[in-house]
Amino acid sequence: MTSSEIKSGALVSLQDLHPSSSYFKQGASLRVTGKLQEYSVEIAIATIVDGSDSLKINTQYLRELSFRVGSIYQFIGELLIQPDNGAVLQARVGRNVDGIDLNLYYQSLQLLRQFQAHHLKNPAT
């Protein structure tokens, strides 16, 4: 694989993004979902939340997406770890997903992880 190849974004919840998590790596390609709490047009930074967890999203490359505080968004991009152990997702794709059933979405994410864990341990099955 060449270094210029774009990786798919691993499905993660905001609760999964903490310094001891396996997803919390410089340059990790991730897909995150959350409610837009705030957006600054001047610096192109959005903040999404899910419960008490939040993540800053750099939206400088998302020209065609309009932002509404309170709406649900999904972003795919690369995680940039800051010196203070904070993180910003450099988004390359973003979309409004208002109407998504977040409880069902997170249930399906858990089932996907269980399936992947089982099949990575037992690839023949």
pLDDT in tens, 28-74: 999 999 999 999 999 999 999 999 999 999 999 998 999 999 999 99
For the whole model, what pTM was predicted? Answer: 0.88
Residue 124 has pLDDT above 70, yes or no: no
Average pLDDT, the chain: 91
Residue 120 has pLDDT above 50, yes or no: yes
The pLDDT, as a whole number, for residue 107 is 94
What CA–CA distance (Å, rounded) separates 36 from 96? 10
The pLDDT, as a whole number, for residue 63 is 86
The domain segmentation of the chain, as residue ranges, is 10-121
Superfamily of domain 10-121: Nucleic acid-binding proteins (2.40.50.140)
Task: Tell me which residue of 57, 58, 60, 40 sits closest to 48, measured CA to CA.
Answer: 57
pLDDT (average), residues 11-18: 91
pLDDT band of residue 5 (cuts 50, 70, 90) is confident
The residue whose two tokens read 């008490």 is 52
Residue 1 has pLDDT above 50, yes or no: no
pLDDT (average), residues 82-104: 94
Q: Regarding beta strands 72-81 and 87-96, do their DSSP bridges make them parallel or antiparallel, or are they unpaired?
A: antiparallel
